[in-house]
Amino acid sequence: MTFKLLSIASVAFGLAVGAAYAQTSNEADQTATSGRDIQNSEVVGPMFADREMTKMRSKEEMKAAWDMLPEERHTKIKGECADPQNDHERDFCDTIGGF
């Protein structure tokens, strides 16, 4: 009986720890994949119409979201735009270039 109870307890503990570890890893991957604001959905997410940040909003909506960011973010993002990592970043940078 003790052996069964210990086995069940260890399985339950393993499942709980595994789920917590998976959640922590996923959050870190989403927000700090590259350390770039241009890829951070918390920073530039409002400029996109979808959660995956693949479809940009209208220029007017993007400008309104851009204006809500602090000046330090503007400087950092424009610095990142000097070296876009892919076509998606290049398109985004082209759009905000006139702001």
What is the per-residue pLDDT across 34-76, written as a single tens digit (0 to 9) for each? 689 999 999 999 999 999 999 999 999 999 999 999 999 999 9
Helices (H), 33-68: 41-44, 59-68
- Find the mean pLDDT for residues 22-37: 57
Chain center to CA of 7: 39
Q: Where are the domains of the chain?
A: 1-32, 35-99
CA distance 87 to 97: 15
Q: Cβ atoms within 10 A of the Cβ of 44, count?
A: 22
